[in-house]
Amino acid sequence: MLTGRGLSKLARQRIRLCPRSARAASTVAPTRPPSRDDEGLVDFFDRPRASASTWFRSSTTSTGLFLQPALTQPSGFTQVAEDAVQKARRLVDRILRAPADATELRKVVKNLDRLSNVLCCVVDLAELVRHSHPDSRWVDAANDAYGMLYEYMNVLNTDVGLYDVLKKVLHNPDLASNLSPEERETALIFWRDFEKSGIDLPPQLRTRFVQLSSEIITLGRDFVNNSNAARPPVYLPASQISGLLRQSRMRLPIGTRNTIAVYPGTSEARMLMASVPDDATRRALYLASNSSSPEEIEVLQALLKTRAQLASLLGKESYAHVALDDKMTKSPDNVMTFLQAQLHQSRPRALVDVRGIAEQKRISRGDNQLPPVEAWDREYYMPRIPSAAATAMPDLTPGTVFYGLSRLFTHLFGVSLRPAALESGEVWHQDVRKLEVIDEDEGLVGWIYADLFGRPGKASGAAHYTVRCSRRVDDDDVEGDFPDRIPIAEEDRGLRIPGYTVRGRPGKYQLPVVVLLCDFPSPTLSGAAHLDWNDVMTTVHEMGHAVHSMIGRTDYQNVAGTRCATDFVELPSLLMEHFFLSSPDVLSLFRQPGEPQLADLDTITATQASPGAALDAHTQLIFATLDQLYHSPLASADTFDSTAVFAKLQDEWGVLPHVPGTSWQTRFSHLYGYAATYYSYIFDKALARAVWERVFARAPLEREAGERFRQGVLRYGGGKDPWAMLASVLDMPELERGDVAAMKQVGQWRAEGDGLRHGTHSH
């Protein structure tokens, strides 16, 4: 999944760094044609510790995180945050002076984009560091910088002066008609975000808006921390599980009275849920994994109620009405119409899965009739993949997956991946690896840092962070930031990003940098980590986001790469994960030269429709519907009870009843980052299926199809209306208006098939 949703209004989604100034060093990007050296990717990832000396340059001097001299130590975050505020204030002053100068008015959109970039370069870098750095001092420093700048951005979001200047630009026919399509889309993003921030409210209510926004940030951080926190252990009878633990070679502490402590959410707990015959033991584990403390429920409900108050302040019926106004779906009614259509399609298939579980339970117990299925029966009684099919699954490692992805991207887009050396202090852990992204026409177009292996203190799950977006920098006109037109000396306290010359494009650009965080099992000195199929799907999903970031290189960072509508951004990643990865032609690319052919690719792809896939898909629809209900007018009621709302939804639309005493919703961390937009995964999977069937299914490795998708979708980032992009790539002009008729048409497209998967936390 993606991260950084809702970081600010001026600073749109994702994490991005900015150039220090137009005077930053210029570098010519390499333009050597890509050779067929993808094989080096295998050892690069599969033996990270053994090959560390090959890929780390030896030096006694640290270059700083991401080659930033200001970030050689944690205190540097304070320095770069203060520098960002100083630069931002100069830009704000310049924008406010613009109405007095016609030339300056033409630069307003550019300077608003620069302002966003200056602030988010620190905020979003801090977001990455606080989820990945093993040193608590760095995490604390990143949190402080994040909080400082977020507060400042909340104030800017309600700056009437900035809004009035932008209004002059958009309402001036001469200026507005000369905006490029990208520039106009960037201007509209700022316009909508100002209006979402209550810019038309009286001063005292704007102050209240800032207060509520700050409360949401604080509550959201507490909620996410709670959702990711370890649950208290449950003490299970040693007689029921000790034998299984010995077989699996797991060691768990012995508690009092011959019990064993098991922590919910751990691999041990998951193994036991799938392996312990005793119903009572599994029930105890289920209850422990799906229950919450009163304090955790209180934090979630306070978050939802505060959002409802903010919506009311803006004159909106609910927070969903605020969040969806600029999305493809446009309104909560459209979203609920889509979800209900999908629920009607998916529920019968999910019930077939439940019947399969009941049949396995009947056979196991020797019953004559089908017994009822309880929530804690699912993993234990779920029909297993046949052993013949299981043995046909490919034995894939991180290296072979990246090798295959490089070959796939070369076929489709002419883009390949290459190992890159690291400088001392450039990364936050020795297992992090750096890739150059090479376009066969343009040369170097960006970098990917891959932090793939789990470790204590690192965020769980998988996510794609954009640490820097594309942006044209040679026309920044930094000298104009100063009233007297005489630049003053700047201290070396901020972030410095060079401008690159890219073949085939005028000017100079900051190139995109993305980070992939995963928690795969670590390799050893003697052997590579072996990925299960879910891990492979996760990697391919996140790399779908990464290739979007690399190809969507725009002049304005607010519309670069994955910075598009929340309910459009998952299209490339779901297309890669669920459809390209189901193709035998694509899977054949993961085999290195000289290796035997992967066993029976048809069997491999058949196993992806694994037992329980329909149940998983239906569960995701329930979660998406819950997200809508939590951000509907229900949240405004004094009697609002998040557990009761969830229980009613499960009992009405679920295929397994709600279990009294449980309150899983406090683990639903996406309620913060994807507020009222969690449906995006299901919506975009329906879009992805349509793109696959109409563009790629016949010949998934054809460059012509890849170019159609690249030129119709990826290259625009968020610089074009998503409905127009969809209509173009599908050759369905009737979709371009994105009206009710278009929504109804998409609502009839099938999204579910195999279960939806995506990274945890934000994206």
Compute the half-sphere exposure of residue 289: CA atoms within 13 Å on the CB side of its CA. Answer: 19
Closest CA to 6 of 546, 671, 747: 671
User: Could you tell me whether strands 433-439 and 415-420 are parallel, antiparallel, or unpaired per DSSP bridges?
Assistant: antiparallel
Q: Are 476 and 2 in contact (CB under 8 A)?
A: no
Q: Are 165 and 205 in contact (CB under 8 A)?
A: no
- Establish whether 440 is a catalytic residue: no
DSSP code per residue over 467-509: EE--EE-TT--GGGGSTTS-PPP--TTS----EEE-TTSSS-E
Distance CA 220, CA 206 (A): 21
User: Coil, helix or strand for 396?
Assistant: strand
Contacts of 665 (CB under 8 A, 6+ apart): 292, 297, 300, 626, 630, 642, 643, 646, 671
For residue 487, what are its two tokens? 């630049």
Point out which residues pair with 439 in neighbouring strands.
415, 443
Q: Are 705 and 699 in contact (CB under 8 A)?
A: yes
For residue 533, what are its two tokens? 């199929």
User: Could you tell me whether strands 443-453 and 433-439 are parallel, antiparallel, or unpaired per DSSP bridges?
Assistant: antiparallel
Distance CA 580, CA 700 (A): 7
User: Coil, helix or strand for 722?
Assistant: helix
Closest CA to 429 of 549, 529, 515: 515
For residue 718, what are its two tokens? 């968020």
Sign of CA dihedral 20, 446, 149, 138: negative
Strand extents, DSSP E, 502-623: 509-510, 513-520
Residue type, 472: R
Catalytic residue among 379, 426, 542, 570: 542
Distance CA 217, CA 211 (A): 10
Q: Are 551 and 511 in contact (CB under 8 A)?
A: no
What number of helices (H) and strands (E) belong to the chain? Answer: 30, 11
Compute the half-sphere exposure of residue 554: CA atoms within 13 Å on the CB side of its CA. Answer: 30
User: Coil, helix or strand for 439?
Assistant: strand
Q: Are 264 and 231 in contact (CB under 8 A)?
A: yes
What distance, in Å, lies between the first and last C-alpha atoms of the chain?
5
155, 254, 367, 677 from 572: Cα distances, Å? 34, 47, 47, 17
Catalytic positions: 542
